[in-house]
Amino acid sequence: MRQVRLGQNGPLVGAVGLGCMSFGGVYGATTVEDSHATLKRALDLGVNHLDVANIYGAGLSEEVMGSFFRANGNRDKFVIATKGGIVTHPNREFRNERAYLTECLDASLKRLGTDHVELYYIHRRDHRVPVEDVMETLVGFIEAGKIGAIGFSEIAPSTLHQASLVHPVAAVQSEYSLWTRLPELGMLQACRELGTTFVSFSPLGRGMLTDVEIDPSTFPEKDFRRPNPRFTEPHFTVNTAKLRRLKAIAAREGLATATLALAWTFRRAPDSIAIPGTRTEAHLAENAAAGDFELTDALLDEIEDALPLGWAEGSRYTEAQKHGVEDY
């Protein structure tokens, strides 16, 4: 698989990583055995970058990963990113002060069964704490050997510039796909300018840019998509219909729709990393195939004619879901 450097001086990782949110049952029931099988298959496919967060499954995703490393003795084969800074109970809020981030990181390391992670993200910004102070905390984590590099999730380009005055930021994570193209309005450019690796989360449109038939009526009660505007009517039916052209293109080319959609992100954001999540080895293989697939100019034009900028109907988030996401 094509390799991408994480930040200016970080490790090389496969262009396609693995989002591990689903290991905590966020998108429906799963088993530890299935999650372990997915992690084992990931290594076979060259998928060595794992992305998780302390709140995924209330820590369960990290625990599942930690149990896999203990059982197989292969922690050193992976480049791990986790996140902190969100409080989920009793109410959702964001905390970026040193004491809380230290508590979050130490708990994550314990669950993962490791003394360090290669990348640590601020999951959401707490604007009561100046970003310069947050950076000083994170630099302290680097000096203590607990993290290798610094990242931010869902920030604005202006925040990236401000943070980078204190210390290089290795990665910024934002939603990016044919389904959501906001990072093209400044974040991709800022990352290139500053030597920050751009990481696409939900690069398959939360399942819409795949060959899986999605039925929102079957979503579990806590599924993130259940209240999401793009998955509610009338938007869902319209979006599903518009996606038929993309799926037809993929079928004609002998590709999984997921492979084609991920290849599009790499064409639009060269040297980026995508972290699709999956619970199955078959879907993992489809995702990994995008790491070596080069999208031609003709295919790029055909895809963007089928799904032009702004094609998806419905807001990306509900008002509650977008709380903490920086606008730009």
Here the tokens at position 73 are 């003795």
What's residue 221's pLDDT?
85
Place of tokens 């084969």: 77
Assess if residue 95 is contained within a domain.
Answer: yes
Assess if residue 216 is contained within a domain.
Answer: no
Instruction: Give the count of domains, the chain.
Output: 1
Write out residues in the chain with pLDDT < 50, as ranges: none
CATH assignment at residue 73: 3.20.20.100
SS (H, E, C) 83-142: EECEECCCCCEECCCHHHHHHHHHHHHHHHCCCCECEEEECCCCCCCCHHHHHHHHHHHH
The reported pTM is 0.95
Place of tokens 């993309």: 246
The catalytic position among 56, 120, 121, 176 is 56
Assess if residue 244 is contained within a domain.
Answer: no
Assess if residue 53 is contained within a domain.
Answer: yes
What's residue 235's pLDDT?
97
**Any catalytic annotation for residue 56?**
yes
What's residue 323's pLDDT?
87
Here the tokens at position 46 are 């060259």
Assess if residue 238 is contained within a domain.
Answer: no
Assess if residue 178 is contained within a domain.
Answer: yes
Assess if residue 313 is contained within a domain.
Answer: no
What's residue 90's pLDDT?
87
What's residue 223's pLDDT?
87
Assess if residue 250 is contained within a domain.
Answer: no
Give the residues across from 119 on adjacent strands: 81
Q: Which domain holds residue 56?
A: 3-208+258-295
What's residue 230's pLDDT?
97
What's residue 25's pLDDT?
77
Q: What is the pLDDT of residues 255-310, one digit of tens each?
A: 999 999 999 999 999 999 999 999 888 999 999 999 999 999 999 999 999 999 99
